[in-house]
Amino acid sequence: MSETSVPLVWLEKIWKSFGRLEVLTDVSLAVPRGEVVCIIGPSGAGKSTLLRCVNHLETIDDGTIHFEGKPVYRYKQNGKVVVDPERRVEAIRAQIGMVFQSFNLFPHLTALGNVIEAPIQVLRQPTVEARKHGLELLAKVGLSEKANSYPHQLSGGQQQRVAIARALAMNPKLMLFDEATSALDPELVGEVLRVMRQLAKEGMTMIVVTHEMDFAREVADRVVFMDSGNVVEEGPPSVVFTDPRSPRTRQFLQSILNRNGAEVQADESASTA
């Protein structure tokens, strides 16, 4: 089997609990290279936990995570549980970029400083090389003029774009987005989604937990609907959004449609008041 035919990430029968609360139940998901997978579903469905398991921010209880065809982090081998040493875990994590709801920028570093910190400290890139690449990435996310600005001088949308540039600075093979726009004011959401759309066009493998249904419909190669710790349904956006098989998926999408309609009516009422 060629390298390109092996999924970049394969989650095999993943289980995860917090105490007595089962958050993920026998979840399997394969993500080929270059594919954009959008995960949708109600709060508490396990979406963010699934994402955090992919880069080992959460430890799975059972199942196997495969990265580039090899089991990683914690897995069974010859009937015994194997736990990867920290050095291997860090090497895998360095290939996976993650963008959170909160921006998590270092407040004492400029935008450029935030972007180049990990390449210098983790990858041991020469400072000159890291700065050159960092400036290129800030230009990519539309923030060339903000290289020397500190986080408190940036809008939420600008901070999130710096966070994306920071993740890209490690030259990741996979990008994870955990509700990257949910903490932003509505007028700032578009500027972050534009960057994500561009990454998708460039062929970046992405797993995106999102409540932005239009983005998922437009950009995703595959949409995964989760509920109560399970993958209820997955398929192309054209199928999941227009002809879902599961009644639970239909119910969720209808609730989103109803909510959005109510928001539009409220906006129109406010504008005419």
pLDDT of 183: 86
Helix (H, G, I), strand (E, B) or coil at 29: strand
Residue with tokens 């508490």: 44
Which residues sit opposite 97 in a β-bridge? 175
Higher pLDDT, 266 or 31: 31
Q: Which amino acid is at 2?
A: S
Contact 240, 223 (CB under 8 A): yes
Please compute the mean of the pLDDT values over residues 174-198 and round it to a whole number. 93
Give yes or no for residue 272 having a pLDDT over 80. no
The Cα 261–Cα 4 span in angstroms is: 43
Beta strands per DSSP E along 70-214? 70-72, 74-77, 80-83, 96-99, 174-178, 205-209
Question: Is this structure's pTM higher than 0.95?
Answer: no
pLDDT of 187: 87
Strand 9-18 and strand 21-31: the pairing is antiparallel
% of residues, the chain, pLDDT over 70: 93
